[in-house]
Structure 1
């Protein structure tokens, strides 16, 4: 049957997970053409058709679905092996990761704990929490091996891989007039000065781009603050409305400290992405972290 490389098995496993060769290629750090070529070579080596190719895309054959399950097990074992060997070589210096504030505060701690449980012996990971624009600058400069951003902006020469989804919600103080309404129109949200993060924030850029794309340019901010926590505090103190991640305010809404306001016929859904330099994913210890982040993806 010949040698079968790990990258091809990773593509096969990712096709089963994502349902698309293009998405599987991105997950493996490959172009769609390279991923397709890997799949064709794998079919030749195995001697079985793994994909059913159609005009609108490709699906796994029954044999391909079974092989994809085995491939996922092999890929996971190989990554544990690589990470373990790295640890045995005595690499103890921290690996640097930069993350936007929402990811750093509400998602990354859980991802780190899960990845370290799955792959014992991983070296320390040093986290820098900042806004999305600065995350891109740190990874592009080479001072940080991996970054997580929450903004839709272009990443330049870096590779970007979707890892999760997040919803942004409108919140107001409980006594605010909007708190008594079933919903507000998008146009009213756009013309209302908001408590918001500083320029460079992924949350702010996501909201501004959504409003502008809907034909409703946003009003100038009421307040610009450097952290999500500061925004939450300002809103709870009566400053005015804000649009923030549901991750940051879920407990405040449940406790009645903040009220969520629905926007008529509009949801603010954004992709959270990992970014790194080069076509291949970063070091083994960070691949384990990336895999955990991707498995946390929600709709």
Structure 2
């Protein structure tokens, strides 16, 4: 036995605007007053009503100089329309509640450099846009940020490095340069000749831990020269690496963002390089989950004039 084909429900049921018009006509007894209440013209209301009658195949309203009266079919359809509109209003209230709950908090995970030197300004600006949103920030290396996003423990992340972590979508929000820095008393502080990649690779350095964006960029730049020498120190934060370099422990490779103040007052000296050490800064989120609400607003702030 062959089943009769039916068009999708959306093609067989009047839209909410038409149902609201029918309810207003039933309540007010006039098509023109119903049109005014809904903020549409009377010709538009007449066209909407005729379209609903064609769709349903029955007459819904009888018009006369004294006003508009529902037909028997119109009274029945009006009863159904009231339940549909009531359900739509409940649906809308529920959706607004979901948005309110989403917008009440924002969980951010960021790599150390971005968390320390860029995010504070962005979060202050976000506070002006969304004063009621509670923001939590977790700082770690780029690999840890990716792990938190994939585990659903953060809504938006920021990483540094050469590639987009697996399972994440991303957009570039800026560029960063890495610099080799030493204390003023280090022999490299007085050198004029740029430092070659081979010499840097052969020198024990104060390094960030593996998994950090800084380490990824440095390892890639020195790969053709056998990679970096065993580290003098391997530290889990930019602040710790910078402090060790300031103390004179040895050279370090750090973000220019992180050492700007120290370079300005000569607590550290930048060593010229023969080769560039640059990386992209990215906002990241789980594949297919485009940032919305506060996360979308924060993302827009990172790409604005102050970002």
How does the TM-score come out when normalised to structure 1? 0.66
Describe how 1:210-229 pairs up with structure 2 within 5 A: 210-212=221-223, 214-215=224-225, 217-229=227-239
Describe how 1:14-163 pairs up with structure 2 within 5 A: 89=100, 93-117=104-128, 119-163=129-173
- Look up the match of 1:204: 215
Please report how far the alpha carbon of residue 295 of structure 1 lies from its aligned counterpart in structure 2 after TM superposition: 2.7
- Look up the match of 1:252: 262
Whether the 8 Å contact between 1:195 and 1:231 is mirrored in structure 2 is yes
Whether the 8 Å contact between 2:179 and 2:255 is mirrored in structure 1 is yes
Considering only aligned residues, what root-mean-square deviation do their CA atoms show, in Å?
2.2
Matches of 1:287 and 1:225 in 2, distance apart?
33
Please report how far the alpha carbon of residue 95 of structure 1 lies from its aligned counterpart in structure 2 after TM superposition: 1.7
Instruction: Specify which of 192, 195, 198 is matched with residue 187 of structure 1.
Output: 198
User: Are residues 121 and 195 of structure 1, via their aligned partners in 2, closer, same or farther at CA, if it must alter by over 3 Å?
Assistant: same
- Structure 1 residue 268 and structure 2 residue 263: aligned? no
When Rg is computed on C-alpha atoms for both structures, the one with the higher figure is 2
Whether the 8 Å contact between 2:197 and 2:225 is mirrored in structure 1 is no
Please report how far the alpha carbon of residue 296 of structure 1 lies from its aligned counterpart in structure 2 after TM superposition: 5.4
| Structure 2 segments unaligned to the other structure (5+ residues) | 1-95
Whether the 8 Å contact between 2:176 and 2:256 is mirrored in structure 1 is yes
**Alignment partner of 1:150: what SS?**
strand
Please report how far the alpha carbon of residue 92 of structure 1 lies from its aligned counterpart in structure 2 after TM superposition: 6.8
- Look up the match of 1:169: 179
Please report how far the alpha carbon of residue 98 of structure 1 lies from its aligned counterpart in structure 2 after TM superposition: 0.4
Instruction: Specify which of 285, 298, 302 is matched with residue 293 of structure 1.
Output: 302
How does the TM-score come out when normalised to structure 2? 0.64
Please report how far the alpha carbon of residue 297 of structure 1 lies from its aligned counterpart in structure 2 after TM superposition: 8.6
**Alignment partner of 1:295: what SS?**
coil
| Greater than 3 Å deviation, 4+ residue runs | 85-93
User: Are residues 109 and 127 of structure 1, via their aligned partners in 2, closer, same or farther at CA, if it must alter by over 3 Å?
Assistant: same
Whether the 8 Å contact between 1:195 and 1:242 is mirrored in structure 2 is yes
Please report how far the alpha carbon of residue 140 of structure 1 lies from its aligned counterpart in structure 2 after TM superposition: 0.3
